[in-house]
């Protein structure tokens, strides 16, 4: 059998997958027996080293370094720091306009990789208005300076849970037709409210329709107050976001009447409320495990997940704040990836 010099992409991917658990000789043998492809150990080693260095399976051609000097590289770096959504084609055009030179896309791409720029899927976060950056920064600094341990805080929030029956990612068999999965245009949805703390979680409240201040207060009456009386007889602080119904005059009066201490937090800060991650876990359970087909099954799935929420699980999410808060400070109040 003749050795393949120009490997198809799926063989390169196989080599990278196998190198985590197999050595070069074993990879060569597996490719020959399972994929009927003959490659040398040198080829395997070359692609593994290339992937470790560049994070890609694209083999870039080498171009003379003299095509891009230090001024060109600094120009490219400044362009990407100003707008990191520029493509290599955009950068080539800018180089042409600024220096009157013609540079290939491959040369620019290689130069960007050498400077540490990596092309990845865009990551999204909540938009934070400028006026709230200082509030987030000051809050995070306050937590650090006071050695806040969140021992007596009940983190609360609402979320919307939809009927979803498919995971975000799916495995497909190569060379076989992709399996299409139906997705309703307007899936049935329910709203939930709950709280988590270091001593466990409140009951979860499931409802439909809109929540106003009075309805919100009735939820606190049925869920938060009994939880606080039984678990936090020594007192607790309520963490809630700055939704109008949470901070209305009526709700503030209710909290004062019931001797509930509100722990103020900055607006536009879902990354500093660990129950947001609990909602993500709940939705993942609905999508991948429960796969409900109607309202009754959706309610059952929500309750099923919430019955598994333990104090240990709550503490794992709350401890995540020790990573988030320093990151908020590092970003001067900006959004984090958490």
Residues 211 and 322 in one domain: yes
Q: What global pTM score does this model have?
A: 0.67
User: In the chain, how many domains are there?
Assistant: 3
Residues 261 and 235 in one domain: yes
pLDDT at 185: 75
236 is a domain residue: yes
Residues 74 and 50 in one domain: no
pLDDT at 18: 87
pLDDT at 168: 67
Residues 26 and 73 in one domain: no
pLDDT at 253: 97
Residue closest to 312 by CA, chosen among 183, 215, 199, 148: 199
pLDDT at 204: 97
Residues 268 and 157 in one domain: yes
309 is a domain residue: yes
Please give the Cα distance from 157 to 172 (Å, whole number).
37
pLDDT at 12: 86
Q: Kindly give the parts of the chain with pLDDT less than 50.
A: 1-2, 63-65
Q: Residue 72: which domain range?
A: 65-114
Residues 261 and 289 in one domain: yes
Residues 270 and 160 in one domain: yes
For every residue of 46-103, DSSP letters joined together read HHHHHHHHHSSS--PPP--GGGS-HHHHHHHHHHHHH-TT--HHHHHHHHHHHH----
pLDDT at 216: 97
pLDDT at 61: 56
pLDDT at 63: 45
The CA-atom distances, in angstroms, between 216 and each of 74, 169, 194, 220, 303 are: 55, 36, 11, 6, 20
């Amino acid at each position: 059998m003749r050795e393949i010099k120009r490997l198809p992409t799926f063989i390169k991917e196989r080599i990278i997958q196998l190198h985590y658990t197999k050595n070069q000789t074993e990879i060569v043998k597996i490719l020959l027996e399972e994929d009927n492809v003959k490659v040398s150990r040198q080829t395997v080693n070359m692609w593994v080293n290339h992937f470790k260095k560049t994070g890609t399976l694209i083999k870039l051609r080498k171009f003379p370094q003299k095509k891009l000097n230090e001024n060109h590289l600094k120009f490219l770096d400044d362009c990407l720091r100003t707008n990191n959504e520029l493509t290599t084609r955009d950068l080539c055009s800018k180089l042409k306009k600024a220096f009157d030179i013609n540079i290939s896309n491959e040369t620019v791409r290689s130069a960007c990789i050498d400077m540490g720029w990596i092309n990845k899927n865009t990551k999204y976060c909540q938009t934070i208005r400028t006026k709230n950056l200082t509030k987030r920064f000051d809050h995070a600094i306050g937590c650090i300076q006071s050695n806040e341990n969140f021992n007596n805080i009940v983190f609360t929030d609402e979320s919307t849970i939809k009927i979803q029956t498919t995971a975000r990612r799916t495995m497909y068999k190569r060379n076989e037709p992709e399996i299409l999965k139906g997705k309703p245009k307007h899936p049935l949805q329910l709203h939930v409210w709950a709280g988590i703390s270091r001593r466990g979680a409140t009951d979860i409240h499931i409802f439909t329709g809109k929540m106003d201040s009075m309805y919100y207060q009735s939820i606190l009456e049925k869920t938060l107050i009994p939880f606080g009386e039984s678990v936090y007889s020594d007192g607790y602080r309520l963490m809630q976001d700055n939704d109008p119904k949470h901070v209305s005059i009526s709700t503030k009066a209710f909290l004062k009447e019931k001797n509930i201490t509100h722990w103020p937090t900055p607006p536009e800060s879902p990354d500093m409320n660990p129950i947001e991650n609990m909602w993500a876990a709940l939705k993942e359970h609905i999508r991948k495990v429960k796969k409900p087909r109607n309202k009754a099954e959706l309610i059952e799935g929500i309750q099923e997940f919430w019955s598994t929420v333990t104090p240990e699980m709550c503490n794992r999410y709350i401890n995540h704040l020790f990573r988030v808060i320093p990151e908020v400070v590092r970003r001067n109040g900006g959004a984090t990836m958490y």
